[in-house]
């Protein structure tokens, strides 16, 4: 038995997998093949609901079940136009894990998922909301620091740990944002985390379906190259997105200004403007991740991109995470002993 086993037990039991290492749900990336590969390597994969049409997401769930009998979850964005229909479908298919992301779900939506037999995880951006989500029935929480890639919250993981992880003992708490090494995972587990979620590190897996030029951009990038998009005006409350700086990031700034002019002119309303923002990111991410258009597409990446410099088989990534975490725990035990 390894030292790390004791610290992984809570997360392993909740996720029903070998290691409490989750692969974050990434639009255009977290497809059935990647989710299956993560499960086969001992981790826990998440299908990305995003803005996917209900029938497309349904087909992905069914295909994932056909490819493997390892457990997996479905990540739903509460702000997506098709969210309610996605949730109904996921419950009808009796998926075993539903992750609510992008906003705060209603209590009845959490209870709907639980009534279908699913376990639920909710993203908790602040301490008051963390306690509220637990009271609403969330089975577990996810703390994602602003170091993460893609759509992010405003607070660093180091602060969320002190605000929430140290003060919530009633449900498992998973953490994400800036995590790419087993040594870091060891310390997070010892601080009480039930497990970790990574996205940027899994982009570099051989099994990850993104374009080879997308991965090359990650290898060349430094941590400071992964920047968060600004919000120009409170009338257009866009969720910040962290990605590698390129022409696409500049185009997004122009889009915000254009939408604000249309809001001023009364041509569109706020909801239409927000949907336009999300359509931009969905399209720009596809351009980069699938078509390899790394100059103008969206290279969503966390600041941990500065810690990845090679591609690896997925099982090698997870084995390395666990092995390095165990080595770190042994080192600490010797220091204390």
CA separation for the pair 20, 3 (Å, rounded): 15
Instruction: Identify the architecture of domain 3-210+308-336 in CATH.
Output: Alpha-Beta Barrel (3.20)
The residues that bridge with 45 in the sheet, in sequence order, are: 23, 72
Does residue 273 have a pLDDT over 80?
A: yes
CA separation for the pair 73, 256 (Å, rounded): 33
Find out whether 105 and 122 touch, Cβ atoms under 8 Å: yes
Residue in this structure with the two tokens 């993203």, named with its chain if needed: 123
Structure confidence at residue 248 (pLDDT): 87
* CA neighbor of 294 nearest in space, from 334, 247, 231, 232: 247
CB neighbour burial string for 261-281, b if at least 16 within 10 angstroms, e if fewer: eebeeeeeeeeebbbbbbebb
pLDDT band at 72 (very low <50, low <70, confident <90, very high): very high
Does residue 71 have a pLDDT over 80?
A: yes
Find out whether 203 and 298 touch, Cβ atoms under 8 Å: no
Burial class (CB in 10 A: 0-12, 13-18, 19+), 324: middle
pLDDT band at 51 (very low <50, low <70, confident <90, very high): confident
CA 287 centroid distance within chain: 20
Structure confidence at residue 62 (pLDDT): 98
Find out whether 137 and 114 touch, Cβ atoms under 8 Å: yes
Across the chain, which distance is largest between two alpha carbons, in Å? 69
Structure confidence at residue 253 (pLDDT): 85
Residue in this structure with the two tokens 């004791």, named with its chain if needed: 6
Structure confidence at residue 20 (pLDDT): 98
Extents of the domains making up the chain: 3-210+308-336, 212-303
Provide the mean pLDDT of the chain.
Answer: 94
CB neighbour burial string for 285-317, b if at least 16 within 10 angstroms, e if fewer: bbbbbeebbbeebbbbbbbbbbebeebbebbeb
pLDDT band at 290 (very low <50, low <70, confident <90, very high): very high
pLDDT band at 282 (very low <50, low <70, confident <90, very high): confident
Find out whether 235 and 270 touch, Cβ atoms under 8 Å: yes
pLDDT tens digits along 108-165: 999 999 999 999 999 998 889 999 999 999 999 999 999 999 989 889 999 999 999 9
pLDDT tens digits along 2-49: 999 999 999 999 999 999 999 999 999 999 999 999 999 999 999 999
* Higher-scoring residue by pLDDT: 7, 277: 7
Structure confidence at residue 137 (pLDDT): 98
Kindly report the backbone phi and psi dihedral angles of residue 163, in degrees, each rounded to the nearest multiple of 5, phi listed first: -75, -40
Q: Is 318 helix (H, G, I), strand (E, B) or coil?
A: helix
Which residues, other chains included, contact 253 with Cβ-Cβ below 8 Å and sequence gap of 6+? 229, 230, 232
pLDDT band at 270 (very low <50, low <70, confident <90, very high): confident
How do 241-244 and 226-228 pair as beta strands? antiparallel
> pTM of the predicted model, to two decimals?
0.94
Residues shown for the chain: 337
pLDDT band at 102 (very low <50, low <70, confident <90, very high): confident
pLDDT tens digits along 212-266: 999 999 999 999 999 998 878 777 777 788 999 999 888 888 888 898 889 888 8
Does residue 317 have a pLDDT over 80?
A: yes
pLDDT band at 178 (very low <50, low <70, confident <90, very high): very high
Structure confidence at residue 124 (pLDDT): 95
């Amino acid at each position: 038995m390894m030292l790390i086993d004791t610290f992984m037990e809570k997360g392993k039991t909740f996720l029903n997998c070998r290691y409490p290492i989750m692969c974050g749900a990434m639009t255009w990336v977290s497809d059935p093949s990647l989710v299956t590969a993560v499960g086969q390597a001992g981790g826990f994969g998440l299908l990305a609901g995003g803005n996917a049409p209900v029938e497309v997401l349904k087909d992905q769930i069914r295909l994932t079940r056909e490819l493997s009998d390892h457990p997996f979850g479905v990540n739903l964005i509460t702000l997506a136009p098709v969210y309610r229909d996605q949730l109904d479908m996921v419950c009808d298919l009796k998926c075993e894990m539903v992750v609510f992301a992008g906003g705060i779900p209603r209590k009845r939506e959490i209870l709907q998922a639980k009534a279908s037999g699913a376990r639920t995880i909710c993203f908790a951006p602040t301490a008051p909301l963390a306690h509220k989500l637990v009271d609403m029935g969330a089975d577990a929480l996810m703390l994602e620091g602003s170091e993460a890639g893609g759509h992010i919250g405003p607070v660093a993981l180091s602060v969320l740990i002190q605000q929430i992880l140290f003060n919530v003992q009633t449900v498992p708490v998973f953490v994400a944002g800036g995590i790419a090494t087993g040594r870091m995972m060891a310390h997070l587990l010892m601080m009480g985390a039930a497990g970790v979620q990574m996205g940027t590190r899994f982009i570099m897996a051989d099994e990850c379906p993104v374009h080879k030029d997308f991965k090359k951009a990650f290898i060349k990038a430094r941590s400071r190259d992964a920047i968060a998009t600004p919000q120009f005006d409170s009338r257009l409350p866009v969720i910040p997105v962290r990605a590698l700086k390129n022409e696409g990031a500049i185009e997004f700034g122009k889009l915000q200004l254009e939408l604000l002019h249309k809001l001023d002119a009364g041509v569109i309303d706020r909801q239409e403007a927000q949907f336009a923002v999300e359509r931009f990111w969905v399209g720009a991410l596809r351009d980069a991740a699938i078509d390899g258009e790394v100059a103008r597409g969206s290279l969503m990446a966390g600041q941990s991109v500065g810690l990845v410099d090679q591609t690896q088989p997925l099982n090698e990534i997870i084995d390395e995470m666990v092995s390095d975490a165990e080595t770190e725990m042994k080192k600490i035990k010797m220091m204390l002993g």
